[in-house]
Amino acid sequence: MKDLEERVQKDAIVNEGNEVDVDSIFSQYVDVNLLDEMANEWAFRFRNLKLTKIVTIESSGIALATLLAIKLNVPVVIVKKTPEFEVDDAYTARIYSHQYHQSITAYIMKQNLCRDDKVVIIDDFLANGWAAEGMISMIEESGAKVVAMGVAVEKAQKAGGQKIRAKGIQLESLSVITGVDESGKISFAE
């Protein structure tokens, strides 16, 4: 998506090791016009999937998931994070939190998923796919099926995209970063 690529080029921060940080676009600030355009694109690509739930992880995917939810008229289930190891009445997965620099427990309340659910996962960024794998394992534990995943920014050189596609999940990344040159210019897949 052209508008998204331009925004990433303009506002993303390129850290050491050419890590692209999109927090300023999805985590600290919500440009509703851009995000609504993205949600429209996902709603179109997912229109035939008969989705019943959107799952996202706090907090940078919530705005995107909410805008898509309006268009698909389905609820959003939010994966929460806690430093505790056990959460009553929840599906859990251990994942690494960049925000808290420690492993934490991600959880979904059991009452919010059922075995008939057809789920799309929405997230802002897909690199190694560890958070995505945690979400998929929790959703599958409930008996629900992960049918699709929508990602704002996918990093092509990392393994996450391949892992998701290999599971038969329809992955729709609205921008795919293929590299960063010495000047910090980001290149995108066609």
Residue whose CB is less far from a second copy, 28 or 48: 28
Q: Give 2's contacts (C-beta < 8 A, 6+ positions apart).
A: none
For residue 163, the minimal CB distance to a second copy (Å) is 26
User: Which of 155-161's residues contact partners 24+ apart within 8 Å by CB, and which partners?
Assistant: 155/20, 155/125, 155/126, 155/127, 156/189, 158/126, 158/127, 158/128, 158/129, 159/128, 159/129, 160/126, 160/127, 160/128, 160/129, 160/130, 160/132, 161/126, 161/129
Nearer to a second copy, 58 or 181 (CB): 58
Between 6 and 58, name the residue whose CB sits nearer to a second copy.
Answer: 58
How far apart CA 152 and CA 124 sit, in angstroms, is: 5
Whichever of 36 and 133 has its CB closer to a second copy, that residue is: 36
The C-alpha atoms of residue 43 and residue 150 are separated, in whole angstroms, by: 10
Structure tokens at 10: 């303009």
CB of 168 to a second copy, least distance (A): 27
State how beta strands 102-109 and 76-82 pair: antiparallel
Instruction: Report the nearest approach of a second copy to the CB of residue 114 (Å).
Output: 13
Q: At its nearest, how many Å lie between a second copy and the CB of residue 170?
A: 22
Our CB check for a second copy shows the closer of 29 and 44 to be 29
Indicate the residue among 99 and 128 with the shorter CB distance to a second copy.
99
Place of tokens 């921008």: 175
Angle among Cα 128, 40, 166 to the nearest 5 degrees reads 30
- For residue 109, the minimal CB distance to a second copy (Å) is 5
Smallest gap from residue 143 Cβ to a second copy (A): 18
Name the site residues for a second copy (rule: CB under 8 A).
Answer: 24, 27-33, 35-36, 58-59, 62-63, 65-67, 69-70, 73-78, 80-83, 99-101, 108-109, 111-112
